[in-house]
Homo-oligomer: A and B are copies of this chain.
Amino acid sequence: MARIKLDKISTRAPEHLDKDKTKADTANLLSELDELQNRMYAESKHSVLVILQGMDASGKDGTIRKVFGTMNPQGVAVSSFKTPTPEELAHDFLWRIHKQVPQKGMIKIFNRSHYEDILVTRVHKWCNDAQAKERMRAINDFENLLTTHNHTHILKFYLHISKEEQKKRLEERISNREKQWKYNDQDLTESKLWAIYRKMYEDCFTHCNEVPWIITPADQNWYKEHVVAKALHSLLKGLNMQYPGIKK
């Protein structure tokens, strides 16, 4: 496919879009999602894997809270992938990921994911281009396994923020007492690697797009939440799920 160029894609909602109307739409979608999720849980045939990627402060935590925060916790779970442990490093890079995929009936949210193994690792040169290529192939095979063999529907969101918006949010983490716990010295160091991170993300989009990426303009939370809710809603709506009858 043609290479996606992040610089050419707006980080903001389309100009004409009415904010209040969109927020009302999102609220309706969330309300319907509650019922669709219950149906999926009851039917236990499909599962959904939501992958959230994006630069630091791109709004991954907020997306989880706002879009998935009103669903039944019995049907939704979150896995956050941080620096791998020694045990995890002693396995292939998909080992810790595979353990966390959703079982039938569930929505699993990955807060960061196996994509970090071709992002942060490449930026810091812990993984060379040849290794990255092998990993991309393995990722495609892995996503294909989940999709084909367990009715797992994968939604991959790249939360697309501008450098200016990131700067503003990182500064707020320092000045706002209730957000300081989220601040990490590394955030500023990583922020300086902005251009190379963007290039590595574009590589992901190009080479791991069999399950397509949804590039989500994320400078405005209301629009980001709308895009995520809408994609999830379209997916679930399209599955034509039914409540099962009495077990025989």
CB closest chain-B residue, reference A243: B178
Complex Cα gap A43–B177 (Å)? 12
Residue interface bits A75-88, CB-to-B below 8 A is 1, else 0: 01110100000000
Closest to A68 in B: B73
A70 → B minimal CB distance (Å):
6
Taken together as a complex, chains A and B put the C-alpha atoms of A137 and B247 apart, in Å, by: 38
| A247 and B73 alpha carbons, distance in the complex (Å) | 30
Residue A71 is within 8 A (CB to CB) of chain B in the complex: yes
Output the nearest chain B residue to A65 by Cβ-Cβ distance.
B72
Please state if B109 and A183 are interface contacts (CB–CB under 8 Å). Answer: no
- A52 CB → nearest B CB, Å: 11
Determine if B111 and A244 form an interchain contact, defined as CB atoms under 8 angstroms apart.
no
B42, B74, B178: the one contacting A181 at CB < 8 Å is B42
Given the interface pairs A243-B180, A246-B180, the reply to whether A64 lies near B74 with Cβ below 8 Å is: yes
Q: Assuming A69-B71, A74-B80, what are 12 further A-B pairs, CB within 8 angstroms?
A: A43-B181, A61-B74, A65-B73, A65-B74, A69-B70, A69-B73, A70-B70, A73-B77, A73-B78, A180-B246, A181-B243, A185-B247
28 contacts between A and B (CB under 8 A): A42-B181, A43-B181, A64-B72, A64-B73, A64-B74, A68-B73, A69-B72, A69-B73, A70-B70, A71-B73, A73-B73, A73-B77, A74-B78, A74-B80, A74-B111, A77-B77, A77-B78, A174-B246, A177-B243, A177-B245, A178-B243, A180-B244, A181-B243, A181-B244, A181-B245, A183-B246, A183-B247, A184-B247
**A contact residues vs B (CB 8 Å cutoff):** 42-43, 61, 64-65, 68-74, 76-78, 80, 109, 111, 174, 177-178, 180-185, 243-247
